């Protein structure tokens, strides 16, 4: 760094501290929310969500045949098959916008086409069966159906558009991937399936969402037994590693998982800090007053839907938390159209996830992806609001 740039950096830091509004109640509240959200994120998501996801991503990068990924998810794969696999596999995982990132990075690094990879990226947090059911029960059947149809359609349309917009770059990338050496393994396909099923089982059941009080459905029974089920998958994974894996393979797998952790964790925590500082935790106020947001999402105007999509895209939602938040906002005057816009943009995106996606795809592709989600959520919300408002 030149002396001139260093001087300007020192000057900017000095002025920043000089004018820091340390006596402002709102500024101090925003700081509190930033650290409170990050503390909550560390307790609730790192151990149970991200660590299993890092190991799954490391396993994909280490043991999954590149030819298999390209056959089913590559740029030249059958489109119906590729997007079907991407959307279904994402929905089965039912993870949040941050937990899906290591898995997305894993399949993309093994040769998945940009279209199927971004379809998977959107589908993972957006097409969540439990969230769809909760949305229908709390916000109404038509909202639940609209969310389900919109999320499934979005994952495919966004993937197809990303593939089309960056088709030349993806063709070049596919050609480079074909030159890489094949993965050698001593295990059968069935053994590898059990290996991945055990890890996915740990990820899914350790994070199984708590049902509403008094709910006696199948989902509540699963929740009551979630730790027994998770432990069973853990024992299965330990047995698989003991019987079917060599020490060098386990070491390589761990090293790959660590590489994903180094790439993703810092960006996630920076993003969570920023999201907490500006928007706060659900139900808590930070730098941007809650009443500003509530006043801007009433009715069904283009601005109300667009603003709801933007807020949803930048705010961090843990899985299933978006429904009670929206219930409160609708009670405060939020229109049905903006509510759907937020539902379609919020769970699939967040400021932390944008930072990581940029690290994987680059700035241009990330801007296009985020823009597609926001624009489509806005248009869909306006159409829904025009019909049901």
Residue 198 lies in a domain: no
| Per-residue model confidence (pLDDT) at position 109 | 85
Residue 375 lies in a domain: yes
| Per-residue model confidence (pLDDT) at position 133 | 75
Give the three-class secondary structure for 245.
Answer: coil
- Record the tokens describing residue 110, joined without a space: 């093994």
Structurally, the chain folds into a number of domains equal to: 1
Which residues contact residue 163 at a Cβ distance below 8 angstroms, ignoring those fewer than 6 apart?
A: 75, 113, 114, 115, 116, 170
**Domain of residue 69, residue span:** 32-186+246-388
pLDDT for 192 beyond 60: yes
Distance CA 276, CA 106 (A): 28
pLDDT for 182 beyond 60: no
- Record the tokens describing residue 175, joined without a space: 């050609």
Residue 194 lies in a domain: no
Per residue in 338-379, pLDDT tens?
999 998 998 888 888 999 999 999 999 999 999 999 999 999
Residue 374 lies in a domain: yes
Q: For residue 309, which of 363, 380, 358, 369 has the smallest C-alpha distance? A: 380
pLDDT for 90 beyond 80: no
DSSP string, 60-84: HHHHS-HHHHHHHHSTTS-HHHHHH
| Per-residue model confidence (pLDDT) at position 2 | 79
Give the three-class secondary structure for 312.
Answer: helix
Residue 197 lies in a domain: no
Residue 273 lies in a domain: yes
> Among 103-112, 130-139, 156-165, 299-308, which stretch is predicted with the lowest mean pLDDT?
130-139
| Per-residue model confidence (pLDDT) at position 320 | 66
Share of the chain above pLDDT 70, in %: 93
H helices of 19-140, in order, are: 25-41, 51-63, 66-73, 79-93, 100-109, 114-126, 129-139
- Record the tokens describing residue 223, joined without a space: 């929740």
Residue 1 lies in a domain: no
Residue 51 lies in a domain: yes
- Record the tokens describing residue 92, joined without a space: 């089965």
């Amino acid at each position: 760094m030149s002396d001139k740039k260093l001087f300007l950096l020192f000057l900017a830091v000095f002025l920043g501290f000089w004018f820091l509004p340390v006596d402002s109640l709102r500024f101090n509240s925003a700081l509190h929310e930033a650290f409170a959200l990050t503390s909550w994120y560390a307790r609730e998501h790192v151990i149970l969500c991200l660590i299993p996801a890092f190991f799954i991503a490391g396993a994909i990068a280490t043991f999954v045949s590149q030819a298999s990924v390209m056959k089913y998810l590559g740029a030249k794969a059958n489109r119906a098959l590729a997007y079907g696999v991407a959307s279904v596999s994402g929905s089965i995982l039912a993870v949040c916008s941050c937990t899906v990132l290591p898995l997305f990075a894993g399949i993309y690094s093994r040769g998945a086409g940009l279209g199927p990879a971004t379809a998977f990226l959107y589908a993972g947090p957006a097409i969540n069966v439990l969230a769809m059911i909760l949305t229908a029960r709390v916000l109404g059947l038509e909202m639940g159906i609209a969310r389900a149809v919109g999320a499934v359609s979005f994952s495919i349309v966004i993937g197809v558009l990303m593939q089309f917009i960056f088709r030349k770059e993806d063709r070049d990338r596919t050609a480079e991937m074909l030159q890489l050496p094949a993965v050698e393994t001593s295990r059968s396909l069935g053994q590898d399936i059990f290996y991945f099923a055990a890890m996915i089982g740990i990820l899914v059941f350790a994070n199984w969402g708590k049902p509403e009080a008094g709910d006696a459905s199948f989902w509540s029974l699963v929740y009551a037994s979630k730790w027994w089920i998770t432990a069973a998958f853990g024992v299965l994974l330990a047995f698989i590693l003991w019987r079917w894996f060599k020490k060098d393979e386990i070491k390589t797998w761990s090293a790959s998982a660590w590489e994903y952790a180094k790439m993703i964790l810092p960006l996630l925590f920076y993003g969570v800090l920023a999201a907490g500082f500006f928007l706060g935790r659900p139900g808590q106020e930070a730098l941007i007053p809650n009443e500003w947001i509530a006043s801007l999402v009433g009715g069904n105007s283009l601005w109300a839907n667009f603003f709801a999509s933007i807020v949803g895209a930048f705010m961090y939602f843990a899985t299933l938390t978006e429904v009670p938040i929206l219930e409160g906002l609708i009670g405060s005057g939020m229109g049905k159209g903006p509510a759907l816009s937020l539902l379609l943009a919020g769970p699939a995106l967040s400021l932390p996830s944008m930072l990581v996606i940029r690290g994987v795809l680059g700035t241009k592709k990330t801007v296009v992806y985020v823009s597609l989600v926001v624009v489509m959520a806005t248009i869909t919300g306006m159409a829904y609001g025009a019909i049901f408002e």
